[in-house]
Amino acid sequence: GSGGFRKRKHDNFPHGQRREEKENVNPSSALMTSFKSFQLELDTRHDKYERLVKLSRDITIESKRTIFLLHRFTSAPNGEEILNESEVKLDAVRRKIKQVAEELIGEDMYQFHRAISPGLQEYVEAVSFQYFIKTRSLISVDEINKQLIFTAEDREDTKNTTSDCQDNQPRSWSLKVTPVDYLLGVADLTGELMRLCISSVGNGDIDTPFELSQFLRQIYDGFTFIGNTGPYEVSKKLYTLKQSLAKVENACYTLKVRGSEIPKHMLADVFSTKTELIDQDEGLP
């Protein structure tokens, strides 16, 4: 049986003989030297990957805090202070992205893209949310990437950088947000705009929901134009985007038809109830 075969296999290669073979290996041979260099290269790459994962996590956390801050814009007595504070937070996020950019100098970014993609998506969501509040328009990927160009003077502010050849670094370098990360960040932005719509109505702002509805419809039309021809992650976001658009359009419908009947301080509660009903009908958790 199979047990007998395994026994005969071990009889052919006794443990004592294998220990002797290990002891007889020449550590300075060309083969062992090559494998040691491979081991060093892989360990270095894995360490860099883990550092990028931690930086991406920090970028995600700080970007989420910026988004939470920006949601106070509609209820704050002085919105300009909120925007100024959000700019300070985004500058701190860009300093983290600067460390990512330094780690990737001389590297193929796409080999480490999976480690940094979540943080870049969250940053796109935060910076586009701030841009919309300021200008009521969508920031382009080129404008985002212009803010991620760093010079040699910026290196003085960065600490704990572990590049192997710091003396031969370029005078300027950048980290480009890929089109896919940009699209995924914009898709997540629609959820924040839906929340902005509900909070605006709760504060008595009747015009913002109609403005947001038109803006979200344009974004949805753009995503449907891409359709299933784009990356799989983008097509998955299309359903969530559609739900956000439906909730905003439902808010606009309620305002138009029943706005005069419902007191302004109760409109937000009505929208929240209708939103829960929509989620239940669609089977959302």
* 156 among annotated binding-site residues: no
The region, left, alpha or beta by phi > 0 then psi within -120 to 50, assigned to residue 139 is beta
Q: What is the CA radius of gyration of the chain?
A: 27
Q: What is the dihedral of CA 215, 219, 222, 227, to 10 degrees?
A: -150
87 assigned binding-site residue: no
Backbone angles phi, psi at 233, to 5 degrees: -65, -35
Residues in binding site for Mg(2+): 125, 192
